[in-house]
Amino acid sequence: MSKPEPVVDDLYKLRHSMAHVLAQAVLKLWPDTQITIGPPIDYGCYYDFKFTTPISDENFKDIEKEMRKIINQGQTFEVDTLSIADAIAYWKEKNQKFKVELIEDLAKTGTTEVTHYRNVDAKGETTFTDLCRGGHVENLKDLPADGFKIMSLAGAYWRGDEKKDQLTRLYVAVFPSKEELKDYLTMLEEAKRRDHRKIGKEMDLFTFSDLVGPGLPLWTPRGTLLRNLLDGFVWELRSAKGYEKVSIPHITKKELYETSGHWAKFSDELFRITTREGHEFAMKPMNCPHHTQIFACQSRSYRSMPQRYAETTTCYRDEQTGELHGLSRVRAFAQDDAHVFCRQNQVKDEILKIWEIIDTFYATVGFKNLKVRLSLHDPDAFDKYLGTPEMWKQAEQNLRDLATDRKADFYEAPGEAAFYGPKVDFITRDSIGREWQVATVQLDINMPERFDLFCINEAGEKERIVMIHAAIMGSLERFLSIYIEHCAGLFPLWLAPTQVAVVPVAEPHEDYAKKIESELKEKGIRTLYLDPSDSLGKRVREGEKQKIPYILVIGDKEVTDSSLAVRNVHSKNQVTVSASEFMHAVETDVRNRALMESIG
């Protein structure tokens, strides 16, 4: 008896089926290979293998050729439902230990049957079998023979455990057509050009040191300026909504996170410290438990509610070395964190205030039309969450009503909630089409219970309060990895580490050029003077390399007319304007946080 396939979309089926084709091709070429798992991912699929002899990217063409051969045979999928015992026996006979381990683990959860999907050729012969829950195309000829490409291989540990077998992971890009694959590959080339690690080094924004350690970024003066300007803007928006700054230490006793529930859920990700007296502390991986103790330090009347705390501070998580990537995955990251402690009847207004901050911030920095994901709990795995089903149902309905009232472009995502409460996650698309989750608002009904947080209401009784977590950029490191690539380093004028470069053509033009430099600096404009010791072309190229928004070239005409030849590095246009007009435009653009420079 077969089980119905799960309901999945066509692209999932396409990519899931291609993972089977990949595994079949690998086994055809290297029959002694151990196979593991091969899930779809956002651009295709991957499959993890244990090869008896190493392979390299030189083998990709052979694998792709075999995959196309399999696709063109028009194989179909057939499903068999096996008992746990029969399935284990099948894979033991095939000498596939990883499949045996997967089935044995399923049996421990109470599963009594599993499904195998077989690829069957035109003669009715089985060419490949995999342990699988389903979700495939009807016929492999439905797969695009020219819509896939093996992208890379990487090392991976079995089940993500570095103590287990080292595997080889093959990544495949899979799209419905050759044209869509081509568009994706073009986007990847553009992404390489925009790689924040490359641009960050070229623009001298941040660095990493082997002596400091992987995943621990060091910010240069230019990068620190960029961070502070963005964080200052967030604080300006928060301050207008009544937030107050707080400050907390970077370590805490184990007991704080035991009470919050973080120790049980995330103890493996914590940097732990044992004192000389034997006390156990941790470097803080998040700030919310600390902020509860500021709220709880005194009795709160309903008249003093809500309490709004904000702080940008560094957190620490013990990420695996192999998962670190530039600024997007680090071990030390600063969060622009805020927590609102409020009454239940204040939740809607408080979340709307945060929503307004998010909309203003992202429109100003150049991300528009944010989508909203309501991240809800998984009702089939409630043991992953704190609280009761009733508490979750009410909290999730509150967020659903808010998104509806706001007329937001939202969708629901069961299973994406934090363990302590549902979230409103904001999704943006960057300039080359990639989607990123950025800001988040989390409604927490559990931490107030665990820390016994309350206010004294109108009747003089204790009233349980609600906690709202609000991150605008979230991790500044991760946000800047996204933003650097979105802008390709060409930041708006107000954010550019250097805003104007002054370039005199030759020595006779230096007096006027230095006067312009001085006036710009007096107005607070970040200015770089490039003297005539190098050629004009080299200095202009240097300004462009540093992605300085305006390059002012000053020669005979400009000195005579008190004008400026202004090169706009964003638009590549060059115009001549009076010095006074340029000064006014620059001041206005910076003050208004304009996205594009108004000169040129």
Q: Where are the alpha helices (DSSP H) in 406-497?
A: 447-450, 476-487
Torsion of CA 345, 350, 355, 358, to 10 degrees: -160
Instruction: Report DSSP state, residue 357.
Output: H
Give the Cα separation of 411 and 417 in Å (integer): 13
Give the Cα separation of 118 and 79 in Å (integer): 6
Give the Cα separation of 119 and 125 in Å (integer): 8
3-state DSSP call for residue 334?
strand
Q: Which one of 99, 116, 238, 339 is the catalytic residue?
A: 339
Instruction: Report DSSP state, residue 321.
Output: G
Q: Which one of 317, 331, 509, 547 is the catalytic residue?
A: 317
335 counts as catalytic? yes
Give the Cα separation of 541 and 528 in Å (integer): 14
Residue 241 near residue 235 (C-beta atoms within 8 A): no
377 counts as catalytic? no
574 counts as catalytic? no
Q: What type of residue is 425?
A: D
Give the Cα separation of 60 and 286 in Å (integer): 43
Give the Cα separation of 532 and 395 in Å (integer): 65
Give the Cα separation of 314 and 284 in Å (integer): 8
For residue 439, give every residue at least 6 positions away whose Cβ sits within 8 Å of its Cβ, in sequence order, or none: 358, 361, 362, 370, 425, 426, 471, 472, 473, 474
Q: Which one of 290, 373, 423, 509 is the catalytic residue?
A: 423
For residue 105, give every residue at least 6 positions away whose Cβ sits within 8 Å of its Cβ, in sequence order, or none: none
Residue 414 near residue 379 (C-beta atoms within 8 A): yes
**Dihedral sign for Cα atoms in the order 253, 384, 306, 390:** negative
Number of Cβ within 10 Å of residue 358's Cβ equals: 24
Q: Which one of 196, 308, 469, 486 is the catalytic residue?
A: 469
Q: Which one of 288, 342, 455, 487 is the catalytic residue?
A: 288
339 counts as catalytic? yes
317 counts as catalytic? yes
For residue 385, give every residue at least 6 positions away whose Cβ sits within 8 Å of its Cβ, in sequence order, or none: 377, 392, 417, 419, 420
423 counts as catalytic? yes
As given in the structure block, the two tokens for residue 112 are 């009594």
Q: Which one of 34, 96, 307, 335 is the catalytic residue?
A: 335
593 counts as catalytic? no
Catalytic residues: 288, 317, 335, 337, 339, 423, 469
